[in-house]
Amino acid sequence: MTVIQNQAIIDKSVGHVYGFLADCNNHEQLMPDTIYNWSSTRDEARFTVQNMAKLALRIDRRIENSEVRLIPLEKAPFDVILRWELSTQGDNQTVARLIIEADLNMMMKMVAVKPLQQLVDHQVDRLRLLMA
C-alpha cells in the first residue's frame, strides 16, 4: 500500500474544519484546475480528472471532529482511500492531515505517485487558504 500525505495547521476550531470537510459539496473548492465536470451531494462527488478518468467518491465514514474518509463509489483504476484526519492543537487551531492510501503496482506507482502527492499538497494548501 502506497501512503501519500501532507498536513497543515488551520487557525479555526476543529468543529469548523470538520463541518467543511464532512460535506462533499465543499470539496470542489479544494480541487486543482485539472478537475472538471464536478457534481456532488453531501455524501458523494463525481468529477473528471483532465487527461485521465472519471471518478466518483463517497464518504464512507465520518467521525465527528476527527475523521472524514472517502472511498470510490464505482470501480476505480486502483483501490484507494482518501482520509482527512483532524486534531486540536492549542486554542482554536486544528491540524488537518490528508492521507491517500493507494494499492499501486510498480508501474502505476511510477506514474501515479507524483500527481497524487501534488493533489494532496494542493488540497491541504487550499484548505489552509479557505479557512484563513
pLDDT digits (tens, 9 = 90+) for 53-70: 788 999 999 999 999 999
Q: Which CATH superfamily is domain 2-130 in?
A: START domain (3.30.530.20)
What per-residue string of b and e applies to 35-48 under the rule 16 or more CB within 10 Å gives b? beeeebeebebbbe
Rounded average pLDDT over 70-86: 91
Give the C-alpha separation, 14 to 86, whole Å.
Answer: 7
C-alpha cell at 29: 473548492
pLDDT classification of 50: cutoffs 50, 70, 90: confident
* Strand boundaries in 1-132, DSSP class E: 2-10, 35-40, 44-49, 54-63, 67-72, 80-88, 94-102
pLDDT of residue 65: 97
C-alpha cell at 110: 511510477
Question: For 109-126, how does the pLDDT look when each residue is reduced to its tens digit (9 = 90+)?
Answer: 998 899 899 999 999 999
pLDDT cut 70: percent of the chain above it: 100
